[in-house]
Amino acid sequence: MTNFNFENRTELQKHFSTHCFNEAWKLIDKKERTPKETEDMVHFAMASLYHWSKREDCTDRQKSIGSWQVSRSYALAGNLNQAERYGKLCLELSENKEPFYVGYAHEALARAYGLNGNTNLKDEHLQIAKQLCDQINDDEEKDLLHADLNTI
């Protein structure tokens, strides 16, 4: 176990933002989660976003990524109102960013709207996300977004 200097808030925020993000990601990737794991997934995603927001090096990009992860976690947990809320926040924070980040914001909203039965908004955001995916130059990023879009 790592020893922490609890006086060094910068070190703590960096550790917890990264640790919680990675723990949430592990649970997002799990094919089947227990109710406790689903709850933990949401808590880890929220904690990661919180700790990122307290870091001195936090930018809208990190907040966008964190908001996307929270939206995905809530979607997987079945809390569609919160999935939509954080999807909208992700889109707001991604404004004027690279197509990869804006595309993922639209992916989050398409997923949230699809789960709550709003087919028109789901299709609208999915179409925008696909168009943005086509604009991504990095093949790895393009493949990641494309794969996630195919799960909606």
Q: Which amino acid is at 74?
A: Y
3-state secondary structure 34-99: CHHHHHHHHHHHHHHHHHHHCCCCCCHHHHHHHHHHHHHHHHHHCCHHHHHHHHHHHHHHHCCCCH
10-residue averages of pLDDT along the chain (152 residues): 63 91 97 97 98 92 96 97 97 93 98 94 98 97 96 93
Rg for the chain, CA atoms, rounded: 16
pTM: 0.91
Structure tokens at 61: 């990009």
In this predicted model, what pLDDT tens digit does every residue of 44-78 receive, in sequence order?
999 999 999 999 999 999 999 999 999 999 999 99
Contacts of 24 (CB under 8 A, 6+ apart): 41, 42, 44, 45, 48, 69, 73
Q: Enumerate domains of the chain plus CATH numbers.
A: 9-149 (1.25.40.10)
3-state secondary structure 124-141: HHHHHHHHHHHHCCCHHH
